[in-house]
Amino acid sequence: MGSPELARTLAELAHEIRREVSVLIDRRGRVLSVSVADAKAAELPSIRAGENRLAGYHLLHAHPKGGPLSKGDLSALFLNRLDAVSAIDAKNEGQPGPVYTAHLTPPGTVGEEEDWRILPPVPVFQIDDFDLGAQVSALEEEIARAAVGRESKKDRERALLVQIDQGEFDAEERLEELSELARTAGAEVVYKELIYRRNLKAGTLVGAGKLEELTSKAYHLDADLLIFGQELGAAQAREIEAATGLKIIDRTQLILDIFALHAQGVESRLQVELAQLRYMKPRLLGAGAQLSRIGGGGGSAAGGAIGTRGPGETKLELDRRRINDRLSFLEKQLEGGSLRREERRKSRERNDVPVVSIVGYTNAGKSTLLNAFTHAAEAPKRVLAANKLFATLRPTSRQGFIDGIGPVIFTDTVGFIRDLPKDLTRAFRATLEEIGDADVLLHVVDAASPGADTRLNAVNRILEDLGFVDMPTVVALNKADSAEPDALEREIERTGGVPVSALKSAGISELKEALADAIGQVQRQEMAQREEAREVAAQYR
């Protein structure tokens, strides 16, 4: 705790220079540093406290204006996991007054509203009566015991979610979507918060005060992961991680992780690896050991923590030159896949079989609808359909039948999402461009989810970027059996869509009729164009 003589010296110095003076004392009673600063700005060594241990330092400082421990003192105690922090009241002409001390409490301590316990003030001559060593040992034993109990119950990473609201009308919906993304990646969401910030802080987005609150939440809820709904720069992620001590993931990295988890085929895995490398390449500077996070997940078959799954390249080939070589190799491999898809498209054109591309927001029910169209109840014909985001990454084609048209090829595509990461869009562009070879688009909308109109518009924006917005389109309002009747009626009126329930195979006949009309119209237009071409050719002959 220090000695009465040291306390008197600090009080005299603080009074003389009219500033706070701090000393850092280790567990052997040695003074390691002296700082003319408050507790938050005091000079601290690089602290490498273990998860179940404290830092091993006691901070003693003098307040020239008097008063008990400040909010900054207590924040320094908590954020640096100090053994204790003490403040000497030095307002009486440099004579030391009462000494105020606080120490941390274990997470989940009954009867404690804060992260710390403030002890009653004592006179300066009693400063060394308190047995801080025994208190610290007991506290670390409690923390370790609580950690063992929590670890035995915890089977998934526990995450805090932060979505920043800059005035968007759909900010709450974005937070819910972030929660669903985290769940799909395998995290347990223990806390989520929508933070309004008109202007973002350059380094931390939300400011130091809010990060302290989030750190406290993580401490009490035993969370080790902080996920931001905004894309973070490398410097921002490092600064937030240094301030909180938590693992930091942004929305883009979370989506990439889900793609790595669900990638099944060789081509899908190559595309995911390409996207991950493009995402990580500009973040190499200063990333250090974090680069190994996506070095050995092995795709969907392996476990691993969120942000650690990936293609399995050792440390992601840290050298930039080698990463560039890997990028070139992957792009060439994917070019081969594009050629194979081109051959399949030409084969379908020769057979003159109409193609319907099923597009839509992720988890709208596209794969379930494909199974309903093709009556695929069992594998291998059945397509994977799961109540998760991005369950399907590999485009899958199945043959069905529509009265009045005959055989039809239905192609299930990668699910879309608002603000789809650019690296993923680039990696999957060849796959997505196959949509343009369809005769008709079937746009599947989850009519039961709030914000169906915004999700429909998000898909249309992606289709517009790909140049497919003017293609003949039929809208299927899926999950109609779970939708609110009034909301469903509004969507039918707004989109002209057909209400269906792919899970219950309800409305499939009406949807096939709408597709038959759209395909028939396309075929009549093609026939008219061919006839016109023949007439022009005849004139030239």
pLDDT over threshold 70, residue 285:
no
Model pLDDT for residues 131-148, shown as the tens digit of each residue: 777 878 888 887 777 666
Alpha-carbon torsion (482, 487, 492, 494), positive or negative: negative
Residue 289's pLDDT is 38
For the cut 90, the answer to whether the pLDDT of residue 500 exceeds it is yes
- pLDDT above 90 (res 514): yes
Calpha distance 38→70 (Å, rounded): 10
Q: Which of 266-270, 381-385, 499-503 has the highest mean pLDDT?
A: 499-503
- For residue 92, give the 3-state DSSP assignment: strand
User: 269-278, 483-492, 496-505: lowest mean pLDDT where?
Assistant: 269-278
Residue-averaged pLDDT of the chain: 80
E strands within 303-380?
355-360
| Extents of the domains making up the chain | 4-151, 158-249, 352-529
Tell me how far apart the alpha carbons of residues 39 and 469 are, in angstroms, rounded to a whole number. Answer: 59
369-400 pLDDT per residue, tens: 888 888 754 444 555 555 556 655 566 788 88
Q: Buried b vs exposed e over 516-541: b needs ≥16 C-beta within 10 Å?
A: bebbeebeeeeeeeeeeeeeeeeeee
Lowest-pLDDT choice from 125-139, 197-211, 285-299: 285-299
In this structure, the number of other CB atoms found within 10 A of the CB of residue 246 comes to 20
pLDDT in tens, 518-539: 999 988 888 888 788 888 887 8
264, two tokens: 């099944």
> pLDDT tier at 350 (50, 70, 90 boundaries)?
low
pLDDT at 348: 53
Instruction: Give the span between the Cα atoms of 428 and 416, in whole angstroms.
Output: 11
Q: Give the per-residue pLDDT at 344.
A: 58
pLDDT over threshold 90, residue 499:
yes
Domain 158-249 matches domain 352-529 at the CATH topology level: yes
CA 354 to chain centre: 39
How far apart CA 454 and CA 435 sit, in angstroms, is: 21
Question: What token pair was written down for 61?
Answer: 């400082």
What is the arithmetic mean of pLDDT over 437-446? Answer: 90
Cβ atoms of residues 106 and 73 within 8 Å: no
Q: Give the model confidence (pLDDT) of 170-179 as tens digits.
A: 889 899 989 9
What CATH code is assigned to 158-249?
3.40.50.11060
Answer yes or no: CATH 3.20.20.210 is held by domain 352-529: no
Q: Which is more confidently placed, 1 or 255? A: 255
